[in-house]
Amino acid sequence: MAKSLTSSSEKIGLSPGSLIHVGEVFDNDTVITLINYDATTLEEKVISSVEEMLPYRDKSSTTWINIEGLQDVELIRTIGKAFKIHSLVLEDILHTHQRSKFEDYENYLFMVVKNLSLGLGDFSIEYEQISILVFKNFIFTFKEKPTLLFDPIKIRIQNSKGRIRKFSSDYLAYVVLDTVIDEYFSLQDSLDELMEQIEDELLLSPSTETLNTIQHVRRELIFVRKSISPLRELLSGLHRSDSPLIDEKNRRYFGDVYDHALRVIESMESYRELITGMMDIYLSSVNNKMSETMKVLTVFASIFIPLTFIAGVYGMNFEYMPELKMRWAYPALWGVFITVSVGLMIYFKRKKWL
What is the identity of the amino acid at 263? R
Among positions 73, 82, 324, 354, the unique one binding a copy of itself when judged by CB under 8 A? 324
CB 149 within 8 A of CB 180: yes
Q: Is 60 in the site for a copy of itself (CB under 8 A)?
A: no
Among positions 59, 74, 124, 162, the unique one binding a copy of itself when judged by CB under 8 A? 162
List all residues 6 or more positions away from 35 whose beta carbon is below 8 Å from its beta carbon. 42, 43, 44, 63, 64, 66, 154, 157
Q: Between 30 and 96, whose beta carbon lies closer to a copy of itself?
A: 96
Q: Is 301 in the site for a copy of itself (CB under 8 A)?
A: yes
Among positions 27, 60, 208, 242, the unique one binding a copy of itself when judged by CB under 8 A? 208
Q: Is 136 in the site for a copy of itself (CB under 8 A)?
A: no
Site size for a copy of itself (CB under 8 A) = 116
What is the rounded distance in angstroms from the CA atom of residue 76 to the CA atom of residue 65? 12
Instruction: Sketch the per residue contact string, 254 through 293, with a copy of itself: x for CB under 8 A, - otherwise.
Output: -xx--x--xx--xx--x--xx--x-xxxxxxxxxxxxx-x
Q: Is 248 in the site for a copy of itself (CB under 8 A)?
A: no
Among positions 84, 330, 342, 354, the unique one binding a copy of itself when judged by CB under 8 A? 330
CB 163 within 8 A of CB 171: yes
Q: Is 15 in the site for a copy of itself (CB under 8 A)?
A: yes
Q: Is 117 in the site for a copy of itself (CB under 8 A)?
A: no
What is the rounded distance in angstroms from the CA atom of residue 249 to the CA atom of residue 136? 15
Q: Between 32 and 172, whose beta carbon lies closer to a copy of itself?
A: 172
Tell me the helix, strand and coil percentages in the chain, rounded to 5.
55, 15, 30
What is the DSSP secondary structure assignment for residue 96, as one 8-state letter? Answer: T
Residues 84-113 that bind a copy of itself (CB under 8 A): 86-88, 91-92, 97-99, 101, 103
Q: How far is the CB of 51 from a copy of itself (least distance, A)?
A: 27
List all residues 6 or more positions away from 161 whose beta carbon is below 8 Å from its beta carbon. none
Bridge pairing between strands 101-104 and 62-68: unpaired
